[in-house]
Amino acid sequence: MFKLNLKIALRNLWRNLGITAINIGGLAIALAAFILVAMYFTFETSFDQTNPNYENIYVVGRIEPDFKTNYTSPPLAKVIKQNFPEVENAGITKINRSWELAIKNGKKAIFTKNILQADYNAAKILDINPIGGLIKPSGDVERLTYLNVENIKTLFPDKKDNKPEMVSYGSASSGITGTIAGAIINNEHSNFSFDGVSIGNEIGKGETYGYNNYNTFIQVKPGTDVANLQEKITNLYRAELLKGETDLKTINEIKGVSIFLDPLANQHLKPKAGNDTPYKILISLSVLGFLILVIACINFTNLSIAQATKRAKEVGIKKVMGAYRLQLTTQFLTEIFIQCLVATVMAMVFAESALPYFNNLFQVNLTLWHADNNLFWQLPLVLCLITIIAGIYPALVLSGFKPALVLKGNFSTSKQSSWLRNGLLVFQFSIAVIFIIGLFIINSQLKYMRSEDLGFTANQVVYVKNISYFNDPAKFKTIREKLLKIPGVKSATVATDVPDGSGNGANGYTFEGQQKSLDFVDVDFDYFETLNIKLKDGRFFSPKFSTDTANAAVINESAVAKYGMKNPIGKTIRGCETDYKIVGIAKDFKAQGFESTILPTIYTIKNPCGNAKTQIMLKIEESKMADALAALKAKWSQINPKDGEDFRYEFLDDLYGKLFKKQEQLQSAFFAAALLTIFIAILGLFAFAKYITNGRIKEIAVRKILGASDIQIFKLINSSFFMMVLAANVISWPVAYILTKKWLETFAYRIDLPVLPFISSALITILLTVLTVSIQAKKAVKANPVDALKYE
């Protein structure tokens, strides 16, 4: 019986090759999109899951009165381990991404930007295992430095063992050497991806609770009450900060500080002290993939039902011959399973073909053919599900025809079936409309972000990578003079940070009795001029004022608003045990991009609590850019001897442009999703139009005999579809409004929700509907009425 059903199924599919191709092709395309999204979802949600202690590892963070951060001080890990038996281990790490370090073996060189410093305990917690195993530094060896395998191969291409090697750091003339203990495999599927790792018995030695530049990790025993532990660590931390403190105001401020524990599982997508935009985008993509598959199943269902008229007599004869409905249902499900199976195979081919573009868009390295790929068990499950979801209703409809009616050439489906089919079509177009509106609004927001005034000028600013410290303005003065001699270089400065969206340091500053947290950026002369930042009041730093290098400060408008300052120029603001005189107010500029509000910031030349000034920025004339860069490369060893021959740079506008990357990915995904949903919805519409026109052939014939014109019949057939698509727009508009409004709310600086995308979506869907239905109805309209009425 199965063999017979299989033959019948294959014969029917072959006889209706056009519809079969549309059915299978539409489902295959949707399933390919679903496969890619499922792989990406699995990849993004499984960071660090190879760590055997994954579920018991937490990041220790601080909550200050006006900010939250993952940065803590070195002593905290020790006291946590000593005081709480439920904490199995505690350690700290630090990574400096502000400058690149050149590591060389003769003429072979690498430039490392992510060297992870970790104490031995943190290395154990985070499962950092060099080749040959994790070794605890002992004796005179304070730290063991490892480079990832790729870097070791670059420096030592002929190396066969894992023995230590001597290398040099910085320029060839620096004379700084060190030992590389061995190689380590860099787990790129981890939050702790690095060029190399430096493991010490202890890092941050001698630093007190004021040095919050480290990340603290703890590993708790299974079953630990984390909320209770968090409260106990908060009390301990406050007690540590209060030791020796007598100032009542400071004591009250310390009582407002607390600790939070954030699971390792949160760190990649939604850290408590970070941005959860990647998580929201991942959820959006996942919903897109799921909805595309759902509307493909709906389309499959409608196409299958559209073929019902051609299978009615077959069903009638089989029932007369004694076939049961269950047997017929099984036969039709077999046909649908074959189509789904072919669609799945084609989907794998499509997904494999699209994978390079997908990997390039989302900056990942996914592959279908991987031993640990969950698709090997997920796809068979999805195949069975879509067979049931897309096939059970058509199978029941086809197997339910009454022999007496269908053998006479007359049959009809129930009103409930019609309502369901209409509802499915409306649902398809509702999803398509939401995607179209979403695409238009994403495009509008990205256009706004690219064209909006940032408050500073990134164009023609070159960020030069450098490892020299220029905290002393006199030291950089010599460098600046040399740089300005290069034709085309208009200005030069150095700072602790560049406006590329990365976070600045933060500290407490007191103004007229109010202590609040401010971001700080340590700069040099010409910082504001190089970036073309506008002055609101007062002045910027100038060599003409000798006190500017000692205790002058410039604040931005947000800092003025935070303190409620009135006429702050000339007044004092205190921080880092220094009284700063406010000499100027800079206009706000979007250093962190559009998703975060502009942070209240203080700019100083001298900051005892600051970071190293290493970020050199040059403003270069556009017409002389190429010549200036060539001259800088040639003369860099004389200009900045510590960097020597290692001249490296990036354009600041390219760095800042990376802040738009996630939203551009979402834009591309919505564009693809909109095209797919429109395409699949049109296929569904094509099927439904075919079904309706086939069911109304006799009505059309009678109307033509009574004198109806082709235009009138086209209008008649289109009217019902027009109403359904109009209903789809009306239903989808509120949903699209809510979703896009919530998405726009993730931006601190955004467009007002426009009306045009809603109108455009209606026009696009109505136009496509009229064209599709008219093309399908043309055959019925042009048919000879005699052929439709000859059996009456």
pLDDT (tens digit per residue) in 216-245: 999 999 999 999 999 999 999 999 888 877
pLDDT given for residue 124 in this prediction = 93
pLDDT given for residue 696 in this prediction = 72
pLDDT band at 485 (very low <50, low <70, confident <90, very high): very high
pLDDT given for residue 444 in this prediction = 92
CB 89 within 8 A of CB 124: yes
pLDDT given for residue 418 in this prediction = 66
pLDDT (tens digit per residue) in 601-613: 999 999 888 788 8
Rounded CA gap, 383 and 388, in Å?
A: 9
pLDDT band at 276 (very low <50, low <70, confident <90, very high): confident
Q: Which two tokens stand for residue 275?
A: 């941005």
pLDDT at 695 over 70: no
Domain regions of the chain by residue span:
54-229, 467-642
Please, what is the end-to-end C-alpha distance for the chain in angstroms? Answer: 37
Rounded CA gap, 115 and 459, in Å?
A: 30
pLDDT given for residue 400 in this prediction = 62
Q: How far is CA 142 from CA 74, 119, 203, 695, in A?
A: 17, 10, 9, 85
CB 75 within 8 A of CB 208: yes
Q: How many CB atoms lie within 10 A of CB 258?
A: 18
pLDDT (tens digit per residue) in 109-129: 888 888 899 999 999 999 999
* Nearest one of 106, 47, 120, 96 to 195, comparing CA atoms: 96
- Tell me the β-bridge partners of 89: 219
Rounded CA gap, 562 and 565, in Å?
A: 8
The amino acid occupying position 580 is Y
Q: Which two tokens stand for residue 441?
A: 């609004």
Place of tokens 């600790």: 259
CB 114 within 8 A of CB 195: yes
pLDDT at 460 over 80: yes
Instruction: Output Rg (C-alpha) for the chain, integer angstroms.
Output: 34
The amino acid occupying position 363 is Q
Report strand pairing: 514-522 vs 505-511.
Answer: antiparallel
For residue 770, give the H/E element and its range: helix 756-782
Q: State which of 487-496, 610-619, 694-703 shows the largest mean pLDDT.
A: 487-496
Q: How many CB atoms lie within 10 A of CB 399?
A: 22
DSSP conformation letters of 642-677? TTTT--EEEEHHHHHHGGGHHHHHHHHHHHHHHHHH
pLDDT band at 416 (very low <50, low <70, confident <90, very high): very low
The percent of residues in the chain predicted with pLDDT above 90, rounded, is 32
pLDDT at 731 over 90: yes
The amino acid occupying position 678 is I
Q: Please name the residues in contact with 711: beta carbons below 8 A apart, sequence gap of 6 or more.
A: none
pLDDT at 642 over 60: yes
Helix runs in 400-499, H state only: 403-406, 415-451, 473-484
CB 340 within 8 A of CB 13: no
More confident residue, 419 or 108: 108
Rounded CA gap, 257 and 610, in Å?
A: 22
DSSP conformation letters of 616-637? EEEEE-GGGHHHHHHHHHHHHH
Across 556-592, b (16+ Cβ under 10 Å) vs e yields: bbbbbebbebeebeeeebebbebebebbbbbebbbbb
More confident residue, 689 or 530: 530
Q: How far is CA 334 from the centre of its chain?
A: 41
Average pLDDT over residues 355-363: 87
Helix runs in 537-642, H state only: 548-551, 557-563, 625-639
pLDDT band at 254 (very low <50, low <70, confident <90, very high): confident
Average pLDDT over residues 418-430: 79
Measured torsion, CA atoms of residues 624, 630, 631, 633, in degrees rounded to the nearest 10:
140
pLDDT at 414 over 60: no
For residue 583, give the H/E element and its range: strand 578-586
pLDDT at 405 over 70: no
Kindly report which listed range (179-188, 199-208, 299-308, 332-341) carries the lowest average pLDDT score: 299-308
Rounded CA gap, 398 and 82, in Å?
A: 73
Across 456-489, b (16+ Cβ under 10 Å) vs e yields: bbbebbbbbbbbbebbebeebeebbebbeebebb
Average pLDDT over the chain, rounded to an integer: 84
pLDDT given for residue 168 in this prediction = 86
